[in-house]
Structure 1
Amino acid sequence: MAREIERKFLVRNDDWRAVVQDRQHFRQGYLTDHRHGKASVRLRLRGEQAELNIKSLELGVSRQEYEYPIPATEAREMLDHLCPGPQVEKFRHWVHDSGHIWEVDEFLGDNSGLVVAEVELEREDQTVNRPHWLGPEVTHLERYYNVALITHPYRQWTVAEREAVDAG
């Protein structure tokens, strides 16, 4: 069984930008409504690469994940015609820091202003060396998951929702 093990954090400041290794634009949409199932089915387009991704709807560090490459032209068609509702757009930046490769997602559109860093791990109990630019951990908060940002984007969050973690 394929498992994704990752932790997710807010970003405290822009210091990470000085050590970005690469950056790419992502556009993704969901073929299923995550509120009525056990898994999300996502289409992701990044440049001329595309994937179909199926991920279990579990909160936490570890989830089932299956990913399959598909032609970019077919992904564009499905994103344009089969993905109900809004889509998530973001720039993903890859940053090598503190012994890890961090994926820093800078969201666009209705999620503009949200910047989240993720790190993939080999084990759930693996130690994470946290760079100084990381803020609070949000791994266990559903609203920070991409699938949740489709139905409740960052721009619609109340001040209380934003500060609930930012103060941590």
Structure 2
Amino acid sequence: MALEIERRFLVASEAWRPHVRWSRNLQQGYLAGSADGLTLRVRSDGLGAAWLTLKYPASGIARHEFEYAIPQQDADALLERSAARVLKQRYGLDLPGGDWVLDVFAGENAPLVIAEVELESEQAAVAIPPWCSCEITGIGAFSNAALAQRPFQLWQPEEQQPWILNLETQQA
């Protein structure tokens, strides 16, 4: 059983771009989700790579994760049946301290940009780049599953404002 340990951050500038190693467009559909953190997701890059993933909480910031490659045809059928979806461009970054990826959200979740780092342990030291404005690890509203159900553009202005102000302060 795989354990996913990650920290997540809102991104305040374009200074991450020189660190890009690869990129791919992703579409994620959520087949099941619950208040206790269990999610069942299908993900496709539209180029023939697709995965089915089950996640549920372990302890702290760790989650159990089961991920399996599936045929693109199966992914397409499951995506059609997913009412809640997320579209994003994912970038792999060449930063130290863990596996870094950055998601630039599209559609109703634009203009969100979120960086994630997967760690070996919850205690692992990580150098947080200056373009990461604030940590959102554990804030459920920013999970991909939550953003699929309730996109950022549908948040009330008073819900968005603290995050937008934080980003603007970092950019200044």
Equivalent-residue separation in structure 1 for 2:59 and 2:140 (angstroms)? 7
DSSP 3-state at the match of 2:145: helix
Q: Which runs of 5+ in 2 are unaligned?
A: 167-172
Q: TM-score, normalised by structure 1?
A: 0.89
Equivalent-residue separation in structure 2 for 1:99 and 1:64 (angstroms)? 21
| 1:29 equivalenced with 2:21 (yes/no) | no
Q: State which of 145, 148, 153 in structure 2 corresponds to 1:150.
A: 148
Partner of 1:67: 67
Partner of 1:13: 13
Q: TM-score, normalised by structure 2?
A: 0.87
Deviations 1:28-47 (A, max 9, x none): 10111x23665211000013
> For the structure 1 residues 59 and 118, does the alpha-carbon distance in structure 2 shift closer, same or farther, using more than 3 Å as the test?
farther
State the 1:97 CA deviation: 2.2
Q: Which runs of 5+ in 1 are unaligned?
A: none
Identity of aligned residues (%): 36
DSSP 3-state at the match of 1:143: helix
| Backbone CA RMSD of aligned residues | 1.9
Q: State which of 85, 94, 105 in structure 2 corresponds to 1:96.
A: 94
Partner of 1:118: 116
Partner of 2:130: 132
Query: Aligned letter for 2:40?
Result: V
